[in-house]
Amino acid sequence: MELKFRLQTKIQKPVAEVFDAVYDPRKLESYFTTKRASAPLDAGTTVIWEWDYWPTAYEVHVKECQKNELIAFEWLSHDGDTMTRVEIRFEAVGQDETIVSISESGWKENETGLKHSYDNCAGWMQVCCSLKAYLEYDINLTKGFF
């Protein structure tokens, strides 16, 4: 069985604004990468993400970036030897609402991979909630959360 998940949330903002909040490193730092996002998520780049509450910086290898539609990247799983693929999709629903869906796949099909997939699923749901709070209410849910 392939280990993968997909989750989604609706954000009451136009798709361009939602996309930019993920793409732009300064905005990403406002609700997710609390310490640093080194660059925009352009295809072919490697970006460094760091958090105040997590001891390890992560290299994000951006594979695809289609404005207002998709950001796809690969990064190293917690096991230290497996690259997983994350796809963040943006779908306009009318003029002022956007569905954001996040999927991740690629873990080893063992007990460790299963645990890490569950951990990341929970983490990405936190990101979706934080993105929604940031864009709709200008609140940083991540501050003091961990």
Euclidean distance between CA atoms 32 and 78, whole angstroms = 18
pLDDT at 16: 98
Q: Let me know if 129 is exposed, middle or buried by CB neighbors in 10 A (0-12, 13-18, 19+).
A: middle
| Whole-number average pLDDT of the chain | 95
Domain ranges of the chain: 4-137
Amino acid (1-letter code) at residue 46: T
pLDDT at 80: 76
pLDDT at 125: 96
pLDDT band at residue 146, thresholds of 50, 70 and 90? Answer: confident
Q: Let me know if 71 is exposed, middle or buried by CB neighbors in 10 A (0-12, 13-18, 19+).
A: buried
* Chain segment 49-89, per-residue pLDDT in tens: 999 988 889 999 999 999 999 999 999 987 778 899 999 99
* Chain segment 10-31, per-residue pLDDT in tens: 999 999 999 999 999 999 999 9
pLDDT at 79: 73
pLDDT at 76: 92
pLDDT band at residue 143, thresholds of 50, 70 and 90? Answer: confident
Question: Among the CATH numbers 1.10.150.20, 3.60.20.10, 3.30.530.20, 3.20.20.70, which is that of 4-137?
Answer: 3.30.530.20
Contact present, 32 and 23 (Cβ < 8 Å): no
